[in-house]
Structure 1
């Protein structure tokens, strides 16, 4: 939760990927952040 709130940096960030929603079949462009082996964030972030 700390990573999702911005309180702790992610262990891994993949930017500009295609994210598949396995429930709806939709594809979205975005970023994925992983922290402690779990997905902490999906979406897009402006460049810092």
Structure 2
């Protein structure tokens, strides 16, 4: 179905932008709270969200 290609592309771009924005916000939050090194110590997303 060729007509689905543009929607899939738009969804991919939105997902990529959302992930980048989320990463930037969390990086700013960690740097503001002086916990930047914890970003590399988290073994899973569960521990990541417990902060």
Query: Is the strand fraction higher in 1 or 2?
Result: 1
Q: TM-score, normalised by structure 1?
A: 0.18
Select the structure of larger CA radius of gyration. 2
Query: Is the helix fraction higher in 1 or 2?
Result: 2
Larger RCO, structure (CA 8 Å, separation 6 or more): 1
